[in-house]
Structure formats: C-alpha cells, structure tokens
C-alpha cells in the first residue's frame, strides 16, 4: 500500500539517458513548449504511454466488451481535445507528445493571449494572472478541456492587461 503522505513518482526516465539524438529532441521540445525541466517532459511521455496502453488493451478485448468500453475512453480523449469525433483507436496510437503538450494551459495561454514566448505565458500563470471560468489557475501543466478553452482570460485587476494591448 504505502504511506499516503509519501506519493510515488508519476514519471519514468528514458531508458537511454545519454543518447545524443534523444537529448537534442528533448531540448527542442523543452524550448518549443517552454517546459521548466525535463521531468515535466517525462511526465507527459508517461501519460502518453498510459493512453496508448489503454488503447492497445482495448484493441485486444473481445468485440462485445470493446464496444462497451471504447466510447467511454474515446469520449474522455475528445473532452481533453486530443482526438476528433470521427477518430479511431488507431488515431489514439498515433498520438505524439506534441499533441499532449499543446493541450497544456501554458501553450494555450501563449496562443490565445498572444504572449511572445511560452516562458512569458508560464510566468503569467504562475503569478496568478490567468483565469478559467472565473477561477485563478496557477499550474502551467493544467490540461485544458475543449469547453474551458474559450473561457481563458486575464484577471480583471491584472497588471498585464495594459502591457499586452500595446
């Protein structure tokens, strides 16, 4: 069971940490999406591998059981915005890390509120300038759902309102 105060880590390191091509790809992804550490990237890789594992296990099930479980799984991915309404399990297996990272609050705030860099968007989120549905969210890795995306805005008394308009 384990002690509830001491949670387990929710990510896995790469198997070959000194692979040059992997390191360069990680650094490019870190810069593109404005991640703070490689641990954030590894968390997203772990989430993506769990999603792919669920899809593979659904493909292995019998047809009757699969028809019951597949719509629930696909609906949860549609709600997050990872797939479209007409997607199949093969599309889920073809998901890339960039698809998952593009649904983070940091990336969406950068695009929607027209910040110059993802790091500026991250700082605005951490300093509590961003609201979703009237709630201040200060977690850059928050996964934004499709219906929440249109309700992202700066706080009313935020000092960034004037600087972004110019």
Q: What's the pLDDT tens digit per position in 12-56?
A: 888 888 999 999 999 999 999 999 999 999 999 999 999 999 999
Per the DSSP assignment, residues forming a β-bridge with 136 are 131
Beta-carbon contacts of 52 under 8 Å, excluding residues fewer than 6 positions away, are 92, 93, 95
Residue 5, pLDDT above cutoff 90: no
pTM for this one? Answer: 0.88
What local confidence, expressed as pLDDT, does residue 139 receive? 96
Residue by residue, DSSP assigns 102-155 as: TTBHHHHHHHHTT-SSHHHHHHHHHTT-EEETTEE---TT-B--HHHHTTEEE-
pLDDT digits (tens, 9 = 90+) for 14-25: 888 899 999 999
Q: Cα–Cα distance between 130 and 153 in angstroms, integer?
A: 6
Q: Is 132 within 8 Å of 139 (Cβ atoms)?
A: no
Is 105-165 a domain of CATH 3.90.740.10? no
Both structure tokens of 97: 């890390």
How many residues are there in the chain? Answer: 166
Three-state DSSP state, 14: coil
Nearest to 141 by CA among 106, 113, 116: 106
Domain boundary assignment for the chain: 20-101, 105-165
Interatomic CA distance for residues 39 and 49, integer angstroms = 15
């Amino acid at each position: 069971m384990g002690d509830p105060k001491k949670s387990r880590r929710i990510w896995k390191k790469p198997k070959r940490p000194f692979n040059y091509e992997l390191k360069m790809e990680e650094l490019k992804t870190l810069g593109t999406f404005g991640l703070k550490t490689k641990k954030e990237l590894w968390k997203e890789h772990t989430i993506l591998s769990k999603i792919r594992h669920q899809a593979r296990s659904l493909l292995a099930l019998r047809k009757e059981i699969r028809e019951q479980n597949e719509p629930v799984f696909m609906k949860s991915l549609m709600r997050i915005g990872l797939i479209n309404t007409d997607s199949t399990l093969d599309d889920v297996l073809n998901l890339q890390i960039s698809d998952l990272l593009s649904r983070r609050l940091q990336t969406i705030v950068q695009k929607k509120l027209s910040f110059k860099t993802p790091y500026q968007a991250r700082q605005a989120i951490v300093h509590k300038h961003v609201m979703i549905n009237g709630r201040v969210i200060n977690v850059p890795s928050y996964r934004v759902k499709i219906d929440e995306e249109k309700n992202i805005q700066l706080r009313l008394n935020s000092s960034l309102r004037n600087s972004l308009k110019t």
